Amino acid sequence: MALGGNEPSGFGPPARTITLSLARLATSLGPLLAVSRFYLTPAFPAGSGPEYVNAVAALATDKAPEAILPCLHQIEAEAGRTRERRWGARTLDLDLLLVGDLILPDQKTVAEWICLDAEMQQSATPDRLILPHPRLQDRAFVLVPLAEVAPGHRHPLTGRTVTEMLAALPTEDRRAVRPF
């Protein structure tokens, strides 16, 4: 699970919002197994707002992925999240990254979303849950904290570990992710 935010919520600044969201995740979905440090990261895309606070958490849950997503949206709503603009500033963003080795809905669909060109990524929104998250391998702000929690986890489609995916990113992207 990736957590991030760059605007204050009714709970406080982004780091406090993420901390309280972790407690809500544990209550709603199951116990937290691991939580990364918090990181400061540039807004994406560049210039879209103040820096983000990002983290990653691993949970134990018996809920199906399709049942997890509404829980995440509820917690985001409690933090004042509105969905006005794709990749815009937000109080809280919760993304389901991986559920073990599960691929949803199927390999072909996931591969298509992974290969989506940059322009389409800014406007296209899937009509269903895609696992693993199609941008997982592209984002240092996800991979740096994920490498703390699950460095050896293999991407179920590409077979690359989190550590390998992180090493494949440009040095500049990795350095931009700084401990909070």
Give the residue numbers marked as catalytic.
81, 90, 93, 95
H helix or E strand, kind and range, residue 34: strand 32-35
H helix or E strand, kind and range, residue 35: strand 32-35
Looking at residue 90, what is its pLDDT? 87
Q: What pLDDT band is residue 121 in, cutting at 50, 70 and 90?
A: low
| CA angle (12 as vertex; 54, 26 as ends), nearest 5 | 60
pLDDT tens string 30-85: 999 999 999 999 987 677 789 999 999 999 999 999 999 999 999 999 998 776 66
Residue 64 — left, alpha, or beta (φ > 0 → left; ψ -120 to 50 → alpha)? beta
For the domain that residue 30 is a member of, what is the CATH number? 3.30.70.560
Number of domains in the chain: 1
Q: What pLDDT band is residue 123 in, cutting at 50, 70 and 90?
A: low
Q: What is the residue range of 74's domain?
A: 2-179
pLDDT at residue 7 is higher than 80: yes
Instruction: Note if the bond before 50 is cis, omega within 30 degrees.
Output: no
Task: List, in sequence order, the alpha helices (H) in 35-102.
Answer: 65-78
pLDDT at residue 169 is higher than 80: yes
Average pLDDT over residues 6-16: 94
